[in-house]
Structure 1
Amino acid sequence: MSNRYSRQMLFSPIGEEGQKSIRSKHVLVVGTGALGTGNAENLVRAGIGTITIVDRDYVEFSNLQRQQLYTEKDAENRIPKAIAAKNRLKEVNSDVTIHAHVLDVTKEELEQLIDGVDLIVDGTDNFDTRLLINDIAQKYSIPWIYGACVSSYGLSYTIIPGETPCLNCLLETVPLGGATCDTVGVISPVVQMVVAYQTAEALKLLVGDKKALRQKLVSFDLWKNDQMAINVNGVKKKNCPSCGEEATYPYLSYDHETKSTVLCGRNTVQIRPPKKIERDMGHLYDVLSAQEGVVEQNPYLISYTLADKRMVFFKDGRVLVHGTNDIAEAKTLYHRILG
C-alpha cells in the first residue's frame, strides 16, 4: 500500500484493511457544483478505486467562489464541469479510475450509471434530481448521502435503503427549504461544512463501519451560529411509495418527471412541472426583482430577462426559456431560480 495514504491509515477506524476497502469501491457523484467538486476531490485524495461524476452544466465565473476544482481558464472556455473536474482530479490522483459524463440526468441515464456503484453522493441543486436519485437508490438498495446548502445554511442526511427514512418520507415532515444560491447567495464555508459531513459519512460506509454513521439529519447556520441534529427515524413510513413495503418508485415514472420540450422554430424550451400548480406570482416577482436582470409583469405572466435569455413564468407552473434550444441549459436556468 502506497505511503500516500499513510496518515489516513494511521486513523484506526480505517487502517490498512479500510484503505483496501476504499480502494475497491465505486462512488457516483451526481452534480459537480460546489458539493460535488468538494466530495469528489476528498474521495479521490482518499484513494477511492473508481468515481463517476456527472453534470449537465459548464463552468462560469460565478462558480469559482465556491466550486473548488475549477479555474478561470475553465470559465473563460466554458468547459463542461464534468470534464474540467476530471482533468483536475487526474492531476490530484492519477491512480483513480474516473468516469466523467456531460449529460442531464434522467431515469434512463441513472439506470446505466449505477451499474457497479456502491454509494451515491448528492451534489445536485434541485429536488427533481434528488427524488430521482432517492427512488433509484431504494430500487437497487444503494446508500446515498443527501446534502444541500444555501446562504449560510446547510444540511445533510445519510439514507440507507431498508433502514432509514428516505427523502420522500422526509419531504412530508422536515422543511428542507426552497431558496437557491442564485436567489439568496451562498458563502463558501457552508459548502465546506456540508462536504465535510458528506465525505465523513461516505468514508464510514466505504470501510463498512455502519455503526459510526451519524443516524440523524444535521442542519446548521454558520452565520447565526446555530446547529441541530434531528432524529428523523420516526418519519419513516410503511406506506411510503419510494421506500415502503409496497414501493412503486414514483419518481422513476413519466408522470413525476419535469417535462421539457423544444418549441419548433422559436429558439425556446418549455418546462412544465410534473403536476399543475398555482404559482405564487407575487412571491416570484419579489424574488426575481432582487436579482440582476429586468422583471416585467402583467395579470397573466412574469417575464425575466438576463443577458441573452428571457424566462416567462405562467400561473400554472409552466416556464418558457427563450434564447436556447438546449434543454439541459434551460433546465439549469430553471433550477437556479426555482430550486
Structure 2
Amino acid sequence: MKERYSRQALFKPIGKTGQEKISDSHVMILGCGALGTANAANLARAGVGKLTIIDRDYVERSNLQRQQLFTDKDAENQVPKVIAAKEKLEAINPEIEVNALILDVTGEELAPYLKDVDLVIDATDNFDIRFVMNDLIHKHKLPWIFGSCVGSTGMSYTILPGESPCLACILDTTTLSGATCDSVGIIAPAVQMVVAHQTAEALKLLVGDVNSLRTQLVMFDLWTNQYQMIKVDRAKKASCPSCGVNPSYPALSYDTRTKTEVLCGRNTVQIRANRHIVLEELASRLEKLGSIHVNKFLLSLHYGDYRVVVFSDGRAFIHGTSSMEEARKIYYQLVG
C-alpha cells in the first residue's frame, strides 16, 4: 500500500481492499464551486482514480471566500473553474486523472460522459440542473449524493436509484427556502459541513459499504446550533415520473430546457446558443468597443452598463441585467 494512502487504509472499514477500490473508481462532480472544489480536493487526496468535474462558469473574486481551489490570480485571469481546479487537483495528487469539462448541463447530451462513472456528486447551485440530473442518473441507474448550502445552513442526502426516494419525491414533502448565496450570503463552515457528509458517503459507496450509508436527509444550521436527521423513505412514490413504476423523465424533455435563464441572485442572464465561436475573431471585431480580455476559453468586455462574457461554445453571460429580452438584444448586437 502506497504511503500516500497509508493512514486511510489503516481505517478498518476501508482497509487495503477498499483503498484499491477507491483507486479504481470514477466519480463525477457536477458543479465546481464551493461544494465541488472541496469534494474534489477530498477525493483527490483519497486517491480516487478518475475525477470528472463539470461547470459552466469562470472564477470571480466573490468565489474566493469559500471555493477553496481558486486563487486571486485565477479570478484576475477569469479562468474557467474546471480548468483552474484541474491544475490544483493534479498538483495535490499527480497519480489521479482529472477530466475537466466546461459544459452547461441541459439533458441527454451529458449521458456520454456518464460512461464508467461509479457515482455522481451534486455540487450545483440551482434546482433546474438538479432535476435534470435527478432524471438522468435514475435513467442510467447511478447513485448520487445531493448537497446544498446557503447562509449557515446545509443539507445532504444519498440517493440510490430503485431503492430510495428521488429528489423530486423528497421536495414534494420537504419545504425548502428559496434563499441563495447571492441573496443572503454564505459562511465557509456551512460548505465544509455539507462536504464532510457528501465525501463520507462517497467513500462508503466506493468501497461497497452500503450498510453504513446514511438513509436520512440531514439538515443543519451551524449558527443556531441545530442539527436534524429526517426519515424520508415514505416519500418515495410509485407514480413519480422520475423514479416511479413508469418513469417518463420529464426534465430531460427538450421542451423543458431553458435556452435563456436568469442566474439565481446574480443580476445576470445566461444565453445558450448552439454554435462555435472563434474568440480571437470576435475580439478583433469588438476591439473598437474598448478593453477586451480574452483567453482560449472565453472573451470578456464591458459594454455600456453591462459586462459580457462569451464562451467558445456560443454561451454568454450578460452581467448587469435580469431581463432576458435585454440580454438577448445585447447578445445579438455583439455576437450576431
TM-score (norm 2): 0.80
Counterparts in 2 of 1:201-240, with a 5 A limit? 201-240=201-240
**Residue 37 of structure 2 corresponds to which residue in structure 1?**
37
Q: How far did residue 36 of structure 1 move?
A: 0.3
Q: Is the 8 A contact 1:219 1:227 kept in 2?
A: yes
Identity %: 55
**Residue 249 of structure 1 corresponds to which residue in structure 2?**
249
Q: Is the 8 A contact 1:310 1:321 kept in 2?
A: no
Q: What secondary structure, in the 3-state scheme, does the structure 2 residue paired with 1:321 have?
A: helix
CA distance in structure 2 between the aligned counterparts of 1:156 and 1:21, rounded to whole angstroms: 24
Counterparts in 2 of 1:185-200, with a 5 A limit? 185-200=185-200
Residue deviations 1:121-163 (CA, integer Å, cap 9, x gap): 0010000110111111100110000000001110000000000
Letter of the structure 2 residue corresponding to residue 28 of structure 1:
M
**Residue 138 of structure 2 corresponds to which residue in structure 1?**
138
**Residue 18 of structure 1 corresponds to which residue in structure 2?**
18
Cα separation, partners in 2 of 1:56 and 1:312, compared to 1, 3 Å:
closer
Q: Is the 8 A contact 1:149 1:191 kept in 2?
A: yes
Cα separation, partners in 2 of 1:5 and 1:232, compared to 1, 3 Å:
same
**Residue 70 of structure 1 corresponds to which residue in structure 2?**
70
CA distance in structure 2 between the aligned counterparts of 1:207 and 1:78, rounded to whole angstroms: 37
Q: How far did residue 307 of structure 1 move?
A: 6.4
Q: What secondary structure, in the 3-state scheme, does the structure 2 residue paired with 1:155 have?
A: strand
Cα separation, partners in 2 of 1:70 and 1:270, compared to 1, 3 Å:
closer
Q: Is the 8 A contact 2:156 2:217 kept in 1?
A: yes
4+ aligned runs moved over 2 Å, structure 1: 268-271, 305-313, 318-326
1:311 to 2:321 alignment: yes
**Residue 172 of structure 1 corresponds to which residue in structure 2?**
172
Q: Is the 8 A contact 1:51 1:97 kept in 2?
A: yes
CA distance in structure 1 between the aligned counterparts of 2:160 and 2:167, rounded to whole angstroms: 11
Q: How far did residue 105 of structure 1 move?
A: 1.2
Q: Is the 8 A contact 2:151 2:185 kept in 1?
A: yes
Aligned CA-pair RMSD: 1.9
Q: What secondary structure, in the 3-state scheme, does the structure 1 residue paired with 2:120 have?
A: strand
Q: Which blocks of at least 5 consecutive residues in structure 1 are unaligned?
A: 262-267, 272-304, 327-339
**Residue 104 of structure 1 corresponds to which residue in structure 2?**
104
Cα separation, partners in 2 of 1:320 and 1:129, compared to 1, 3 Å:
farther
1:321 to 2:327 alignment: yes
Q: What secondary structure, in the 3-state scheme, does the structure 1 residue paired with 2:164 have?
A: coil
CA distance in structure 2 between the aligned counterparts of 1:173 and 1:10, rounded to whole angstroms: 41
Q: Is the 8 A contact 2:55 2:101 kept in 1?
A: yes
Residue deviations 1:68-115 (CA, integer Å, cap 9, x gap): 000011011010000000000000000101100112112143112111
Cα separation, partners in 2 of 1:311 and 1:246, compared to 1, 3 Å:
same
Q: What secondary structure, in the 3-state scheme, does the structure 1 residue paired with 2:51 have?
A: strand
Cα separation, partners in 2 of 1:65 and 1:323, compared to 1, 3 Å:
farther
Q: Which blocks of at least 5 consecutive residues in structure 2 are unaligned?
A: 262-268, 273-304, 309-318
**Residue 291 of structure 2 corresponds to which residue in structure 1?**
none
Letter of the structure 2 residue corresponding to residue 321 of structure 1:
A
Q: How far did residue 177 of structure 1 move?
A: 2.4
**Residue 182 of structure 2 corresponds to which residue in structure 1?**
182
Letter of the structure 2 residue corresponding to residue 310 of structure 1:
G
CA distance in structure 2 between the aligned counterparts of 1:138 and 1:200, rounded to whole angstroms: 22
Q: Is the 8 A contact 2:108 2:136 kept in 1?
A: no
Q: Is the 8 A contact 2:108 2:252 kept in 1?
A: no
Q: How far did residue 254 of structure 1 move?
A: 1.5
Q: How far did residue 258 of structure 1 move?
A: 1.9
Q: How far did residue 310 of structure 1 move?
A: 3.4
Cα separation, partners in 2 of 1:20 and 1:321, compared to 1, 3 Å:
same
CA distance in structure 2 between the aligned counterparts of 1:324 and 1:54, rounded to whole angstroms: 27
Q: Is the 8 A contact 2:152 2:221 kept in 1?
A: yes
More divergent stretch after superposition (170-179 vs 139-148): 170-179
Q: What secondary structure, in the 3-state scheme, does the structure 2 residue paired with 1:125 have?
A: coil
Cα separation, partners in 2 of 1:306 and 1:8, compared to 1, 3 Å:
same
Q: How far did residue 67 of structure 1 move?
A: 0.2
Residue deviations 1:150-202 (CA, integer Å, cap 9, x gap): 01110000000000000010121112322110011000000000000000000
Residue deviations 1:22-45 (CA, integer Å, cap 9, x gap): 011100000000000000010010
Cα separation, partners in 2 of 1:324 and 1:155, compared to 1, 3 Å:
farther
1:162 to 2:168 alignment: no
**Residue 151 of structure 2 corresponds to which residue in structure 1?**
151
Q: Is the 8 A contact 1:311 1:319 kept in 2?
A: no
Letter of the structure 2 residue corresponding to residue 54 of structure 1:
I
Q: How far did residue 319 of structure 1 move?
A: 6.5
CA distance in structure 2 between the aligned counterparts of 1:28 and 1:269, rounded to whole angstroms: 24
Letter of the structure 2 residue corresponding to residue 123 of structure 1:
A
